Amino acid sequence: MSDEKTAARVWQVDERWTGRIRLPNVEKDTPQDEEWCEILENGEWSKVRFHDYAHIYERPGLYEALFYGLMKCDSPRRVVGLLKDLRTEPDWPQEPLRVLDLGAGNGIVAEELRRAGASRVVGLDILPEARMAAARDRPGVYTDYIVDDLCQPSATTKARLNDMRPNALVSVAALGFCDIPALAYYNAASFVRPGGALAFNIKEEFLDARYTHGFSELLRRMVEERVVRLEATRRYIHRYGIAGQPLHYTAMIATKMTEIPRSMVVDP
């Protein structure tokens, strides 16, 4: 598929991805969750939405080439780096990290966590294609990898997460759009005992007061009611948009102080 608006920016930046990627010429105000590119495979161009993760994970190297090579995504390093930095504080718990990686994708975050010394990393994603890609691309980085919808976790999922007793919940590039619902985040955080860490990033505008639902509202309520204590926040460039503009996110680390009241979850 081709399009007269398609720009001549054509890339090949990951050796496992043998096709090509090209970006459309678009206005800066194209919503982030509507971004797309075209990929060349077997001599044919086709359109791929950035949020069609299943389609992307099925193609070895495409996720890395698109988001990390072309769009310069830096979030796994930023979020895990902030967590690692805080752990050097003298009064921070020194036990090894046992991390639940929520919205895990194909394991780039887990790789950073292992580099930071995590002893156990359990991945959780709603897509079977994500688990397949993690096993294919980064075998061994996960202790376990669960495919489930945490809005309604199965009994097996609950047993596996209770068994691992995570002391950190990490979620990178998976909160704030129509990705992980507040209820799924709430359920994931319930497996982390008080004193554990919550590490995540969020697009900066989702911290505005006008976002009164979903994860934005849950976060606001948790901070205001001191259910969590914010330890560090850092504004940075998550990646670039398809019009070349920087997309600013905030990386945050919080300590879970008490169990989160269910009433703090406002759907959707």
Nearest residue (CB) to ligand SAM, 6 versus 251: 251
Give, as ranges, the residues between 75 and 94 that touch ligand SAM (CB under 6 A): 75-76
Q: Return the closest-CA partner of residue 102 out of 20, 203, 23, 181.
A: 181
Give, as ranges, the residues between 153 and 182 that touch ligand SAM (CB under 6 A): 172-174, 179-181
Q: How far is the CB of 125 from ligand SAM (least distance, A)?
A: 4
Asked if 108 interacts with ligand SAM (CB under 6 A), we say yes
Asked if 127 interacts with ligand SAM (CB under 6 A), we say yes
226: left (phi over 0), alpha (psi -120 to 50) or beta: left
Stated length of the chain: 268
User: Which residue blocks in 10-154 are alpha helix, DSSP H?
Assistant: 53-57, 62-63, 75-86, 108-115, 128-137
In the sheet where 36-41 sits, what is the strand order? Answer: 6-11, 20-24, 36-41, 44-49
Q: Say if strands 44-49 and 98-102 run parallel, antiparallel, or are unpaired.
A: unpaired
Q: How far is the CB of 184 from ligand SAM (least distance, A)?
A: 5
Q: Pick from 17, 53, 236, 249: which binds ligand SAM (CB under 6 A)?
A: 53
Residues in binding contact with ligand SAM, number by CB under 6 A: 20
Q: Pick from 19, 69, 105, 196: which binds ligand SAM (CB under 6 A)?
A: 105
User: Site mask, ligand SAM, residues 189-228, x = CB under 6 A?
Assistant: ----------------------------------------
Q: How far is the CB of 143 from ligand SAM (least distance, A)?
A: 17
Comparing every residue's Cβ against ligand SAM, the nearest one is: 105
Query: What is the rounded radius of gyration, in angstroms, for the C-alpha atoms of the chain?
Result: 19
* SS3 state at 223: helix
CA distance 145 to 74: 23
- Interface residues with ligand SAM (CB under 6 A)? 53, 75-76, 103-105, 108-109, 125-127, 130, 150, 172-174, 179-181, 184
